[in-house]
Chain A
Amino acid sequence: MKSSFIKLGRLFGCLLALGLASTLVRAADAAPAAAATPAAPAATPKKPEPTLEQRVADLEAYVTNSDPSGPLKDDKGKVPDGLVTATSAVAGPGHNAWMMTSAALVLFMTLPGLALFYGGLVRKKNVLSVLAQCLGCAGLVTILWWAFGYSFVFAGGDGAGPIIGDFGKYAFLKGVDSVPNGDYGYWVSQNVFSMYQMMFAIITPALIVGAIAERMKFSAIMLFIGLWMVVVYFPLAHMVWGIKGYMNGVWNADAAIKAIDFAGGTVVHMSSGWSALILCMILGPRLGFGKEKMAPHSMVLCMVGTGMLWVGWYGFNAGSAIAADGVAANAYMTTTLATAVACFAWGVIEKLHRGHASILGFCSGAVAGLVVITPACGFVNATGAIIIGLLAAAVPYIFVTFVKAKFGYDDALDTFGVHAVGGTMGALATGFLATADVNANLNTNLKDIVGKTLWIEQVKAIGVTLVLAVVGTLIIAYIVKATIGLRPTEDVERQGLDINEHGEEGYVL
C-alpha cells in the first residue's frame, strides 16, 4: 500500500513539473510579442468604433444570454478586425455570480452532503472511511482535472474529436482564464466554468463509494478512481457535453447520436451506478453479509446529508444552464417538484407496503427524485417533473427492495438501485417528456425529433454509456485486483476500516 502511494506521489510530482514547464514556455513566447507592439499603431488603420446600437445590442445579449459577437457581425457574418465593445471577452456579472455559487453548491453536495448521507448509512466502525473516500475524490480528481481532465472533456477546436477533446489545448488549465469560452457559456468566465464542471467530476466517482462501502482498501479505491476518470468519465463527459461530442445533440449539429442530457443522467448517474454494480460484484459482499446486522449507524447524519444534497442539487441542475437565465429557472422548478413528489411517494409506498414511512425511505425518495430529474430538468415542464417524481419513487423502490434481495449482490448503500436505475430511467423519460416550450435550444439542432423520435436517440446514448461504464470498470477493477489488491485483510474488515486504514475513530465515548 505504501509503495502505491509513493508511485502516486511521483506521478503527481511529474505532473507538477510538466505544468510549471508549460507555464514558463508560454511566458517566453509572450515576451517578444509584447516588445513588438509599440511599433504596431503606425502600421494599422484606424480602429473601428462600435455604434451606439451595437453597444446596446451587446448589453441586451447579456440579459438574454446570447452571443455578444452577434450584433458586431457585418453582412458576411464576420466581426470586422478590431471591432469590440466594452462587453467583448468579459464575463457577465450576474451569470458569473450564479455559476460561482453553483460550483460551490455542487461541491457542497459531496463535502459534506454525500459524505454524511453515506457516512450515516454505514456501521459505526466505518464512518470515517466513507468521509475519507469523499475527501480523497475531491483531491485526486482536482489534480487530474487540472493536468488534463478539463482539456480532454471540453477542449474543442481541430484537435478534438467526437470521443475525446484536444488534450494539448487546455492541459494544466493553460489559457483557461476569466474570458468566457463561447462554446459553453457566452457570459461565464472559463475558469469558473472549468471549476463548476470539475465539481461534477468529483461527485461522480464519490457516488461509486456507496456500493463498495465498508470493504475496499483506500489505496485500491484511489487507484481505481484515478483510472476510471481517464477511461470512463472524461470520454463520456466529452461525448455528452463537449462541443464536438458524439452524443451532444443540443449543441453539436454533427453529433452521431442526437441525445440530450441536461445535467448528467448518463454522464454522472448512469456511469457511476453501473460501474458501482460491476465493482461491487467483483469485490464480493461484506464479511457476514446476510447473516450479521448491518443497519445504518446514524439516520440523523443520513438525513442531514440528504438535505445538503437536495440544496446543493440546485447548483447541479439549475447551474447546468451555465447562465442565470430562463432555462435555469425552469430547471430550478422541475428539480423541486420531482424531488418533493418522489420523497413523499416513497414514504407512502413504504407505509402501504411495510407499515412505516421511514426516514431512510424519505431520504431515498428525495435522492431518487433528484437523480431522475437530472437529465430532464432543463427540458421538461411542471407536468413532466411530477411524472418523473412518481416514477423515481416507484421504480428504484422495486430495485432496492426486491431485485437486490433476489440477486444477492451487496450494493451496500444502493448506488446501483438509485443512481444506475434512476439515471437510466431519467435519460429515457427525458426522450419522451422534453419540450421546446421550456427550452428553445431544442429547436437549434433537434427541431425535427423532439416529441417524436428523440427517445430512440436516448436509448442509443444509454447503450453507449452502459457499454463504456461496464467494460471500463471490468478492465480497471481486474487491473487493480491483480496489482495492489482490492480488499483489506479479514481482520481489518472485521475491526473496521477507520482504525486500521485511517488511524482514527469516528466516535470516542
Chain B
Amino acid sequence: MKLLIAIIKPFKLDEVKEALTAAGVEGMTVTEVKGFGRQKGHTEIYRGSEYTVDFLPKVKLEIALADDAVPTAIAAIMAAAKTGKIGDGKIFVVPLDEIIRIRTDERGETAV
C-alpha cells in the first residue's frame, strides 16, 4: 500500500479530483497549505512598506492506495495538474504500513 501526497496549484483541484475519480480513486483528503520550491514568492507593498512573501498558497492531496492502483492515479494527477509552468507542484509516494476503517475494523487493502 502507498500514500500519495500531491502538492498542486489551488485552481487545479477540481480537474485533479475529477481525473482521480475517473481513474477509480474513491477517497482523498485535501488541505490548503503554503510553501515554496523553485517558484519564488512575490513582494507586497503597503504604502511605504515592502514585504517579500515566500510562501505561496497550494493544495495538498493525500490519497491512500493499493499498490497496483498507484500508477494510474499518478498518471491522472500528472495529466490534470500539469500546466508546464514552474510551480505545478510535486507528488510524493510514501509506503503505508496499515489502513484501518474505523467503522468496521477492516484492515489492509480492503480498507482503502
Which residues of the other chain, A, contact B85 by a CB distance below 8 angstroms?
none
Main secondary structure of the interface of B (DSSP, over half): strand
CB-CB nearest in chain B for A400: B47
Q: Which residues in A have their C-beta under 8 angstroms from that of B48?
A: 400-402, 404-405
Q: Which residues of A contact B51 (CB under 8 A)?
A: 293, 295
Closest chain A residue to B47, Cβ basis: A400
Chain A 292-323: CB-based contact to B (< 8 A → 1; otherwise 0):
01111000000000000000000000000000
How far apart sit A364 and B47, CA to CA, in the bound complex (Å)? Answer: 8
Interface digits, A215-253 against B, CB 8 Å rule (1 contact, 0 not)? 000000000000000000000000000000000000000
Contacts of B47 in A (CB 8 A): 360-361, 364, 400-401, 414, 417
Q: How far is the CA of A294 from the CA of B47 in the complex (A)?
A: 12
Contacts of A400 in B (CB 8 A): 47-48
User: Whole-angstrom distance between the alpha carbons of A414 and B49 in the complex?
Assistant: 11
- Does A452 interact with chain B (Cβ within 8 Å)? no
Contact string, B39-59, partner A, CB cutoff 8 A, digits 1/0?
A: 000001111110100000000
The number of inter-chain residue pairs (CB within 8 angstroms) is 25
Interface residue count for B (Cβ, 8 Å)? Answer: 7
Q: Which residue of B lies closest to A404 (CB)?
A: B48
Give A360 to B49 CA distance when docked, in angstroms.
12
The answer, yes or no, to whether A358 is at the interface (CB within 8 Å) is yes
> Does A2 touch B at the CB level, under 8 Å?
no
Q: A26 on the interface (CB 8 Å rule)?
A: no
Q: For B49, list chain A residues within 8 Å (CB).
A: 294-295
The smallest beta-carbon distance between B26 and chain A, in angstroms, is 29
- Which of chain A's residues 354-373 have a Cβ closer than 8 Å to chain B? 354, 356, 358, 360-361, 364
A402–B44 alpha-carbon span in the complex (Å): 17
Q: Which of A397-454 contact B (CB under 8 A)?
A: 400-402, 404-405, 414, 417
- Which A residues are closer than 8 A to B by beta carbons? 121, 293-296, 354, 356, 358, 360-361, 364, 400-402, 404-405, 414, 417
Task: Identify 5 residue pairs between A and B in the complex whose beta-carbon atoms are under 8 Å apart, listed by A's number.
Answer: A295-B46, A364-B47, A400-B47, A400-B48, A402-B48
A-B contacts besides A400-B47, A401-B47, 5 pairs, CB < 8 Å: A121-B46, A295-B44, A295-B51, A360-B47, A402-B48
